[in-house]
Amino acid sequence: MADPFVEVQNVWKRFGRQWVLRDLSLAVERGEVVALLGPNGVGKTTLLRVIATLIRPQRGTVRLFGKPARALEAERGRIALVANPPAFYRHLSGEENLEQSLALAGRPIARAEALEAMARVGLPEGRAVAAYSSGMRKRLALARTLLARPQLLLLDEPETALDAGGREELVRVIGEVAREGAVVLATHDHGFAAEVATRSFAMGAQA
Ligand SMILES: Nc1ncnc2c1ncn2[C@@H]1O[C@H](COP(=O)(O)OP(=O)(O)OP(=O)(O)O)[C@@H](O)[C@H]1O
């Protein structure tokens, strides 16, 4: 059998003296959409950041696409993390942000492609992100995901601030990524988790 997309084994992570993740293990296979559930402060965002290899656990191992997290090179371009709120350059327009982040990921795009992605998620062109509403920022993050075509998509409370249409687009994008890859998302919305996830992972009941 192929290696899992994500393999977190016996991970311990603390900030200062506070252990946030204690002996946590989770494997995610291709095609899965896993919803991380649990109360505020239980460590959902921390786990997403550990999987994204943005932070290292004190103990335990993280493997992505069958490789140790420390040995990832080109594979990093296959991973996308959408934070809550998503991070953008505020003084740049939506389309300029899309161009910048795809260029940074080593996949430059033409302006027309950026505008096409903006149109798909219903965003106007030519406006600085500083003037976007929080829902518009969520939509811009969706456009970025569409263009980046990640194989592993990590989403932190992606449904918040989105209206019904934005939420439908989000569900479609999650489905598109999961067809070839996998999605891990943190949410407090159990209805949303039931709608999109193939499996839930309850946090908070660890030792
Ligand atoms: N960089 C950091 N430095 C210090 N403490 C941190 C840091 N990041 C997270 N924490 C702490 O770790 C704990 C878990 O935080 P985390 O954001 O992972 O929880 P969460 O489950 O995503 O919460 P929420 O549902 O409120 O978004 C919290 O107590 C938080 O204060």
Query: ipTM higher than 0.85?
Result: yes
Classify the C-alpha dihedral 52-155-176-125 as positive or negative: negative
For the stretch 14-50, pLDDT in tens is 999 999 999 999 999 999 999 999 999 999 999 999 9
Q: Whole-angstrom Cα distance, residue 43 to residue 21?
A: 6
CA distances in angstroms from 83 to 1, 60, 87, 173, listed in the order given: 32, 24, 7, 16
1 found inside a domain = no
Residue 1 has pLDDT above 70, yes or no: no
Count up the domains in the chain and report the number: 1
**CATH number of the domain where residue 179 is located:** 3.40.50.300
Which amino acid appears at position 77 of this protein?
A: G
For ligand 1, pick from 45, 49, 81 the residue to mutate: most ligand atoms within 8 Å of CB: 45
Instruction: Please check whether residue 207 lies inside any domain of the structure.
Output: no
Q: Which two structure tokens, joined as six digits, stand for 54? A: 């943005």
For residue 101 and ligand 1, the question of a CB distance below 6 A is answered with no
* CA 111 to ligand 1 center in whole angstroms: 37
Domain boundaries, position 127? 6-202
Parallel, antiparallel, or unpaired: how do β-strands 59-64 and 6-15 relate? antiparallel
